[in-house]
Amino acid sequence: MDQRVDELQDESEKAGSLSLHAFSDLSHVSPLMFLYLLKESYACGKIHGGALRASAKFRILQQQVLQVLHNAPQPGPAIFVAQVLYISRIFDLYTDGFNYLMISGFRRYLRKGITEEDKQEASVVAAKLFIHSVCHGMVHDEKVLVMILEVFDVRLTDIEKAMQIVDGKADINLDTARKFIEQFISKLIESQSYETAVSLLEQFSFYPKSGESFLLQMLQIKEYRAAEKWATFLGKPMLRVLVEEYIKENLLNPAYNIIKTNDMLHEYPDVCKKYKESSLKKLAEKGCWEVAEDRTKGDRQFLQYLVYLALEAGYLEKVEELCTRYALDGFENINKTEANCKKSSYLHLDDFPIEDVVWVDGLNELQGATSHLEECKVVGLDCEWKPNYEKGSKRNKVSIMQIASEKKVYILDLIKLCESVPASLDECLSRILHSTRILKLGYNFKCDVEQLSQSYPELQCFKQYDMLLDIQNVFKEPKGGLSGLSEKVLGRGLNKTRRNSDWEKRPLSVYQLEYAALDAVVLIEIFRHVRNHVNPTGVTGEHSKVEWKSHIVSHIDRAKGQKKGRREQKAVLY
């Protein structure tokens, strides 16, 4: 092989005008030479003059493969690809990558279509490759093997012809080919390679008598993808068996997906109802009430269930809102005692010595808030924004920022202030956020800092922060969030049912204002316990005396991407 590679290197040097990164003139190059040039492009790490990630490089090389196929390589595109796959093993480390690349490019080319003669001959070449792979281990990746059979549409007759060529025997017939495939499938099943086995059973249209027992065998070891593929291949009777098995295991999500995909909704109304209720409950637990309401599609039965979920969460204003909007009767007094008990298990703003919660959406209120906060040594910071309900959609702007002192909470309407008095907003927040005298408390500061910077890139106040203390880092509590930490330190948690509400609507509800204010106030209260070395409820051992000063970050400059290290500050400040 080394001698052949040396010959290829000499051949490529003689070619002169042939580029290693463009194949527009390679319509008559042999499969071996083509693979060598592809390897050079693949290995060099740079395409079109720039370093690229593997996925980007793959897409570019895939386009080059497609270009070659459109240039009518001889004797035909399908045969050319089959021959390339046949000899790709000599490139060792690149074999699997080349196989995926060629198959992917060929699949895209097939949209154009190929001649019947080219297809038939290529199918036999692919069948030979399959036989050599099974018998001599030429291709090690089972997925590639299945892909080759599928993309070349290899049938039992192709296997028969290929076996005659490989073995040189004229007495090989369809029965011989069938036994060869069945033996290979049996080995796959023995090694529990169920998905590959199912793909081959589909490819050659084999229908074993033990279809149901094979399905149960796969389910027993949780090979769900293979089981679903097998049931889909065998049709609705087997799909019903699969759905029943899923129901037994309480796997509502996959059961519902099969029911919906295969037009079986009328057969399993109870499963559909349970699935939708489960979906609504998950959304309610995440605080996505608006999404949950939309998912009910106006169905009164599911709306009533959503009301029960809101009652269970102590979200009484959501109960009232839903009942009013959809004229739902009978919920005025139901479970209110239980809901109020639930409500009492959480912290409330009344539990703290807060004198006032001030809504700030004008210049006078902004200046008043700044004057008060500049006199404080410690403030709690938090912010809220409308959640993105569609996956992959652009994040919404931060809507409000809450800044709490020990006596007051200011809730800044950032959207309105940025529109009406941007310069004043920038100046006032800079005086607080850039101050080296005011300690700013937060929880998971990194998220808020990034969101503020992305929401208001024109404001300088969000490009620099001084004297930050992330309470999350002090306790290193990964579970339960701020509510969980509050429960450990203060004895009660926070009701997070309003977390994902619409923070852009105006005016905000009383409940939203309380929720927002409480998140900032709790930070002050937790810090007070830590600073005074009060032993927090339920926190023992290493947390009984929490070291917090070393967690202060003295400076963050987002404009330059710089962050000064933590340093211990003098206690005299506090």
The tokens for 5 are: 């590679």
Q: Look-up: residue for tokens 């011989």?
A: 176
User: pLDDT truncated to tens, each residue of the chain (574 aa)?
Assistant: 445 444 444 444 433 333 444 455 555 678 888 788 777 776 665 444 445 566 677 777 777 777 777 777 777 888 888 888 888 878 777 787 888 888 888 888 887 777 888 888 889 988 988 888 888 766 567 888 888 899 889 999 999 999 998 887 777 899 999 999 999 999 999 999 999 999 999 999 998 777 899 999 999 999 999 999 999 999 999 999 999 999 999 999 999 999 999 999 999 999 999 999 999 999 988 888 888 999 999 999 999 999 999 888 878 778 888 998 899 987 655 555 444 545 568 899 999 999 999 999 999 999 999 999 999 999 999 999 998 867 667 889 999 999 999 999 999 999 999 999 999 999 999 999 999 999 999 999 889 999 999 999 999 999 999 999 999 988 876 667 899 999 989 999 998 888 888 899 899 988 899 999 999 999 999 999 888 765 544 454 444 456 788 889 888 886 665 556 554 443 334 4
What is the torsional sign of CA 531, 533, 539, 542? positive
Q: Look-up: residue for tokens 């202030």?
A: 417
Backbone φ and ψ for 39, nearest 5 degrees, come out as -60, -40
CA–CA separation, 272 and 331 (whole Å): 25
Q: What is the CATH number of domain 353-573?
A: 3.30.420.10
Spatial CA neighbour of 231 closest among 221, 222, 240:
240
pTM above 0.85, yes or no: no
552's CB contacts (< 8 A; 6+ apart) are 439, 467, 468, 469, 566, 567, 568, 569
CA–CA separation, 299 and 320 (whole Å): 17
β-strand pairing of 46-47 with 50-51: antiparallel
354's CB contacts (< 8 A; 6+ apart) are 404, 407, 408, 409, 517, 521
**76 and 122 in contact (C-beta within 8 Å)?**
yes
Residue type, 157: T
Q: Which residues pair with 412 in a beta bridge?
A: 360, 401
CA distances from 513 to 72, 432, 506, 521 (A): 69, 22, 11, 12
CA–CA separation, 17 and 305 (whole Å): 72
Domain with CATH 3.30.420.10 in the chain: 353-573
To 5 degrees, how large is the angle CA 132–CA 138–CA 142? Answer: 95
- The terminus-to-terminus CA distance of the chain in angstroms comes to 76
